[in-house]
Amino acid sequence: MTQLADRVEWGFPIARFADPGMLRLMLASAVVVNHFSRFSIGTIGVYLFFVLSGYWIDRLWHRKYIHTNAPYRVFLISRMWRLLPAFLVVNMVTLAIARLPSELPWHFWLSNVGIIGYSTLQDYRPLVPAWSLDIELQFYILVPLLFMLAAKGGWWWRGVIWAAAVLALGCVPFLAWPPIHSSILNYTLFFFAGVFASQANLRVPAWAAILSVMLGIGTIAIILLMPEWRGMLLGGMERNPMLIYNAGISALIAVFFIPFVLSTVTRRADGFDRVCGDLSYVVYLLHWPALALIGIYGINLMAFPARMGLTALVVAGVYVAGYIIWRFIDRPLNDARGRYVERQVRPKVA
């Protein structure tokens, strides 16, 4: 992993937020902000997570997993091993405080243990952010199959990948439609943007990364400054009718941010930054039961100063508790996962 991170450094001083792990923590924090406020920017973060996922899955597959004894099997075991521990811990906490309906779909418990199918639960999701893990898992299952077909040669597999990209583009006007919004089709464009960047060995120049940030932040600022548009990014208890366009405008803003996001993948990651990257996953999940818990205790009935104070305290607690879960559960199991993968690597022939 360090070889991947060492290849490029921008030629000018840059803030810590451009480091790869810190960026992932910021994207997770965008989802936290989305759920704890009226500022509906969480979907932007999710789209960009899939860009990063596509990039790293392509890199890891072609640089590590294809050198194992059973690449596809080892890959799936490794990725499930990465996702499940934190998911199961946080999900157990969520189920303990959730008010479940009396009638549940047949695969409810299967999805709450193995993730797959979680995005189809709709009104039965105790741990709401976990729907994106289901989408991620679908990519894990399907994309390596494309990689293996590609390894057999021929031109036709590229047509399959480009057809998937065209299909994803065709879905953009329908992103707010639930069957598309909660399916793998909604994220194929972003995932394969990362895949293509990896396969092209893309290096984003500093000027393009800066322009990317300016376009993304500038678009958000313009929308918020325009009274007739700001409802696309401001949700809350009183849902603005313009919020139905949130998925589409979030996709556009995410596209603007893609060059910046891809510029971070080649930056050097130190120990602190790796902690931030790992913590992002736990925070992404853990903030939801925290939100549900303060809802149970009637935070919306409190006076504004008390409500804001409690919210700030709970959000800070999410990061502290997230670090504890990462330190004592997620990291040891992730280290064990790394050792498992290393044991599966075929010895080099002299």
- pLDDT tens per residue across span 224-243: 999 989 999 997 555 678 88
List all residues 6 or more positions away from 84 whose beta carbon is below 8 Å from its beta carbon. 114, 115
Q: Look at the pTM and tell me if it is higher than 0.75.
A: yes
DSSP 184: G
Q: Are 272 and 73 in contact (CB under 8 A)?
A: no
DSSP 68: B
Q: What letter represents residue 5's amino acid?
A: A
**Burial (0-12, 13-18, 19+ Cβ within 10 Å), 30:** buried
Place of tokens 């060059």: 259
Q: Are 54 and 299 in contact (CB under 8 A)?
A: no
> 39 - beta bridge partners?
234
- pLDDT tens per residue across span 77-112: 999 999 999 999 999 999 998 888 878 888 899 999
3-state DSSP call for residue 345?
A: strand
Place of tokens 């994220």: 187
Looking at residue 301, its pLDDT comes to 54
* The CA-based dihedral angle spanning residues 118, 290, 52, 169, taken in that order and rounded to the nearest 10 degrees: 50
Residue 121 or 259, more confident? 259
Measure the CA–CA gap between 270 and 303, rounded to whole angstroms. Answer: 43
Measure the CA–CA gap between 84 and 61, rounded to whole angstroms. Answer: 20
List all residues 6 or more positions away from 105 whose beta carbon is below 8 Å from its beta carbon. 120, 121, 124
List all residues 6 or more positions away from 237 whose beta carbon is below 8 Å from its beta carbon. 300
List all residues 6 or more positions away from 220 whose beta carbon is below 8 Å from its beta carbon. 41, 233, 253
DSSP 349: P
Looking at residue 194, its pLDDT comes to 94
- pLDDT tens per residue across span 147-190: 887 777 656 666 666 666 666 666 665 555 555 556 787 888 89
Instruction: Tell me the H-state helices in the chain.
Output: 2-5, 20-36, 42-63, 71-97, 108-114, 131-151, 156-171, 178-181, 188-199, 206-225, 246-264, 271-296, 304-325, 331-344
Residue 300 scores a pLDDT above 90: no
Residue 115 scores a pLDDT above 60: yes
Q: Are 251 and 233 in contact (CB under 8 A)?
A: no
Q: String of b and e for 42-51 (b: at least 16 CB within 10 Å)?
A: bbbbbbbbbb
